[in-house]
Structure 1
């Protein structure tokens, strides 16, 4: 074996000396596939060697506490990679031989092998060895067409293909066990603010996760050209939109006698000078720019204090775009008025064109309907918004985007 491996190493050395950039496209793809196949075959051999090392207790002989620890030190692997290697080696050894043979032949890759051994190990003990063999073979056959995540989904239904007579009961038993385990472990936590961020962590049961996906997915699509948010950032912003929508419904239980609302506390003169930070009722501090943006949000009620701390105003209704005024705003703009945005009215805020704290009035001719994402963009100061002579909102792009700064409109919501 060592002589063969040394021979392989020499051939690999020869290939490494060749420049990939000089290969024609067909040879480039073929070389990549050949390297991938060789990697899987060597992985099968490595796992067989790891299993033998573990079975012989080589780690203990060398003074290590476990095979994973020994691999970490000997091969300079990470601890997690070493543990996964030992676990997969043991699982392959216990799985039907067809899985190991397929990996050794590069018919499947290591990720697919891990999925298959996980799936067959989860089969009920009552199905018998013959059914386990058939399930493993079926998944190996599917691996020719499907990558690991899809293969895992197929694995959950594999009994329906190889043993339909026991599949329904086995699936019901498995789902019941999963549900019983998931329900007591459900939780959601919010950390204390740090560096301007709050960590959201949790474990959801499947039903709640489904509800969350259903609520977030329609709002996670890019908003159009120039939307460079990552998928995670889009999910973050979608979650904020969902919370705003729920708060608008007025259907949440009262909290301390009040409807749920976000309260920002700031000194009046600090707000007018656009210099002061604000404080949420959770104790988190907000930047002056964020305070200015929230001050014109239709679902955010500010609590403004005088210099000596007395309450001057909490959520003045004349400042908010509500009732007939909001309906008129929706009728005029139809949704987010920013060019190219398709967000509907229910996801939008009424924005004061001339800021409320600068003396701007809460009237239709000082308002524009705008979604949360573009509301934040407007408050960066790069884009400007105004009402054209025909009473329609138009947006002036920054000079770096359009040197002519030609005003733009949203034509998505126009119905006539």
Structure 2
């Protein structure tokens, strides 16, 4: 390792920090950071080789790094592996020390040495390095993967077959929501990615949600659509969410002012999840169908069902289309440009509200949640016009509200 190159990169970055040319400053800072990362990998490997970590009472290099650098074992081992790769591929090492490539690039060379072979990667080093010095790591990953596929074409089908045996999907209830984990075989994962990519495309220029947030919203939109009409029936009933709730608890959630409902009796229970609070109950009741079931007792598992009433449909498909068309496909809340809308009764049906167009408004999931938390108030003015204010009566400020 040539420390002079790293020192020069640091000097250049330090000199440019005071510059008004932000472009050159950022380039200098990134170069220095990448050079320092390469130096860190080198010294971490040297620390392991010399066992000098014992001078600080640490039993291993990972224990020392955890205590002094706040690095976990995986990060420490990754640095050491990167140094090994840079020693095996000296030209790559020189580029890393000079800050011309990132450690993320080096990790892909490490992958290549392990899964493609030292001879192939060594021979390919010049043109692989050309990709690394001019492209982000994700592009180098594609090139390295393509090289592996070319060298070992049978590995593609082998991996596909192995993937079938690894298929797994778990969804577990946790206090804050649901934890999703698993592994999908190639074609199943591709289908899921294609659907989520389609549903999570930003629809407006100022959509400030992260890609992950858009994917979750897209998945929610897909599931809502499927639950409404997209799945075959099971004994005449389409798959659905079920909330078991006593009449008093439901009445309190539906009649109290938004955000003020207090627990009454046993809390509502979302089937497969567990107890839920009154605000979420109010939201689910507003967006779903309600089927009254008369029983002989409080314990739903032991009670005898005496009568099942008709399901109350909150808005017909035709009404939904009319509301969305009236709002030109966008959320009715000022400043909100989301296009995935839920139909809300401005006067809740539990309070005598009617399911007609003058009382129905389309708002996005986020704004609908605000309504049931009492933070957004909507009043129907008639003829398809509405007044939206904060809970203390202030008009929504377009300059400050961003949903």
Q: Give the deviation of 1:271 after TM superposition.
A: 1.9
Is the 2:342–2:363 contact (alpha carbons within 8 Å) kept by the matching residues of 1?
A: yes
Q: Give the deviation of 1:288 after TM superposition.
A: 1.0
User: 2:390: which partner in 1?
Assistant: 398
Matched, 1:136 2:125: yes
Out of 232, 251, 258, the position equivalent to 1:272 is 251
Change (3 A) 1:308 1:397: same
Change (3 A) 1:403 1:207: same
User: 2:163: which partner in 1?
Assistant: 182
Query: 1:76-95, CA deviations, whole angstroms, 9 ceiling, x for partnerless residues?
Result: 753223222333334444x4
**Mapped partners of 2:250, 2:70: distance in 1:** 57
Q: Give the deviation of 1:355 after TM superposition.
A: 0.8
Q: Give the deviation of 1:192 after TM superposition.
A: 3.1
SS in 2 for 1:83: helix
Matched, 1:292 2:285: no
Is the 1:302–1:315 contact (alpha carbons within 8 Å) kept by the matching residues of 2?
A: yes
Is the 2:164–2:185 contact (alpha carbons within 8 Å) kept by the matching residues of 1?
A: yes
Q: Give the deviation of 1:243 after TM superposition.
A: 0.8
Alpha-carbon RMSD across the aligned residues, in angstroms, is: 4.4
User: 1:163: which partner in 2?
Assistant: none
Matched, 1:237 2:226: no
User: 2:349: which partner in 1?
Assistant: 356
**Mapped partners of 1:237, 1:138: distance in 2:** 41
Would you say how many aligned residue pairs link Structure 1 and Structure 2?
378
Q: Give the deviation of 1:399 after TM superposition.
A: 7.5
SS in 1 for 2:231: coil
Change (3 A) 1:328 1:52: closer
Deviates more, 1:244-253 or 1:307-316: 307-316
For structure 1, list consecutive stretches of 5 or more residues without a partner in the other structure. Answer: 160-166, 408-416
Change (3 A) 1:182 1:50: farther
Query: 1:311-356, CA deviations, whole angstroms, 9 ceiling, x for partnerless residues?
Result: 6876744433235555555565564552466666xx5433222112
Q: Give the deviation of 1:245 after TM superposition.
A: 0.7
Is the 1:318–1:362 contact (alpha carbons within 8 Å) kept by the matching residues of 2?
A: no
Q: Give the deviation of 1:282 after TM superposition.
A: 1.8
Is the 2:346–2:378 contact (alpha carbons within 8 Å) kept by the matching residues of 1?
A: yes
For structure 2, list consecutive stretches of 5 or more residues without a partner in the other structure. Answer: 254-261, 299-303, 399-403
Matched, 1:260 2:239: yes
User: 1:82: which partner in 2?
Assistant: 76
Q: Give the deviation of 1:146 after TM superposition.
A: 0.9
Q: Give the deviation of 1:40 after TM superposition.
A: 4.9
Query: 1:180-218, CA deviations, whole angstroms, 9 ceiling, x for partnerless residues?
Result: 222211211122332x42212222233223222232234
TM-score (norm 2): 0.74
Query: 1:24-44, CA deviations, whole angstroms, 9 ceiling, x for partnerless residues?
Result: 335855752563364255246
**Mapped partners of 2:68, 2:363: distance in 1:** 59
**Mapped partners of 1:152, 1:335: distance in 2:** 40
Out of 140, 143, 153, the position equivalent to 1:154 is 143
Matched, 1:192 2:173: yes
User: 2:259: which partner in 1?
Assistant: none
Query: 1:243-297, CA deviations, whole angstroms, 9 ceiling, x for partnerless residues?
Result: 111111242351x653211121222232222244321222511211111122221
**Mapped partners of 1:100, 1:396: distance in 2:** 61
Q: Give the deviation of 1:372 after TM superposition.
A: 2.9
**Mapped partners of 1:370, 1:75: distance in 2:** 48
Deviates more, 1:283-292 or 1:84-93: 84-93
Matched, 1:36 2:16: no
TM-score (norm 1): 0.72
Change (3 A) 1:360 1:226: farther
